[in-house]
C-alpha cells in the first residue's frame, strides 16, 4: 500500500499553483518570485491559471471598492454634477448638439409605439426605416436594446426587431 502512494507522481506544477494564488493575492510565497516567473515563462497551463487568478482578483477588488460607502457617495456626487452641467447648444465644429437622453428617448418611443401596434410586436427593420426614417429607427432601436426591451432576429435575409416581454 505504501508503494502505491510512493508510485503516484506529483504534478510538478502543484507548488507553482499555490505560489500563483499567493502572488496574485499579495501574500507571502514559499518560493521566490524569480522561480515562479521562470516557471511561468515556460508553462502555458500556469500562465493561463495566473491570468484567471488576476482577472478574478481584479473583479473581487472592484466589487469591494464599489461597495464602500465613500465610493458610492463619490459616484452619486459625480452623477449629480453630470446632470447639473450646462449643455452647450453647439459643438466645436458648429453643429447642433444633440441631447442624447431626450433625442434617443423620443425616438425609442416612436419605435416602441410602431412595434406595439403590429401583431407579435415584430417588424422588418427595412420597413421601419421606410415608415420612421433611418435616424429615428437606429436611435430608437439603440435605446430600446440598451434597456433590454428590444430583440433582433434573422429570417432568411430579413432582419426583424421585436419587443421583448
Q: Where are the domains of the chain?
A: 2-67, 100-163
List the grid coordinates of 146. 440598451
List the grid coordinates of 110. 416612436
- Rounded to two decimals, what is the model's pTM? 0.40
pLDDT single digits (tens) 41-88: 999 999 998 888 888 888 777 777 777 888 778 878 877 776 666 555
**Grid cell 496574485 in the structure block, residue:** 24
Residues near 144 by Cβ (< 8 Å), separated by ≥ 6? 108, 111, 112, 150, 163
**Percent residues over pLDDT 70 in the chain:** 81
List the grid coordinates of 70. 465613500
- Residue 143's pLDDT is 83
CATH of domain 100-163: 1.10.10.10
pLDDT single digits (tens) 8-23: 557 888 889 989 988 8
Question: What is the secondary structure of 14-50 as a DSSP string?
Answer: HHHHHHHHHHHTT---SS-HHHHHHHHTT-HHHHHHH
Amino acid at each position: 500500500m505504501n508503494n502505491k502512494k510512493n508510485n503516484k507522481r506529483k504534478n510538478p506544477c502543484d507548488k507553482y499553483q499555490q505560489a500563483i494564488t499567493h502572488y496574485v493575492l499579495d501574500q507571502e510565497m514559499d518560493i521566490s518570485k524569480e522561480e515562479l516567473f521562470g516557471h511561468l515563462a515556460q508553462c502555458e497551463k500556469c500562465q493561463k491559471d495566473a491570468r484567471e487568478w488576476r482577472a478574478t482578483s481584479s473583479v473581487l477588488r472592484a466589487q469591494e471598492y464599489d461597495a464602500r460607502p465613500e465610493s458610492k457617495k463619490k459616484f452619486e456626487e459625480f452623477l449629480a454634477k453630470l446632470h447639473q452641467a450646462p449643455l452647450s447648444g453647439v459643438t466645436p465644429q458648429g453643429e447642433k448638439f444633440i441631447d442624447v437622453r431626450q433625442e434617443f428617448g423620443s425616438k425609442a418611443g416612436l419605435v416602441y409605439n410602431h412595434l406595439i401596434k403590429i401583431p407579435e410586436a415584430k417588424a422588418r427593420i427595412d420597413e421601419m426605416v421606410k415608415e420612421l426614417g433611418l435616424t429615428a429607427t437606429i436611435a430608437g432601436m439603440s435605446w430600446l436594446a440598451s434597456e433590454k426591451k428590444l430583440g433582433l432576429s434573422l429570417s432568411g435575409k430579413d432582419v426583424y426587431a421585436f419587443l421583448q416581454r
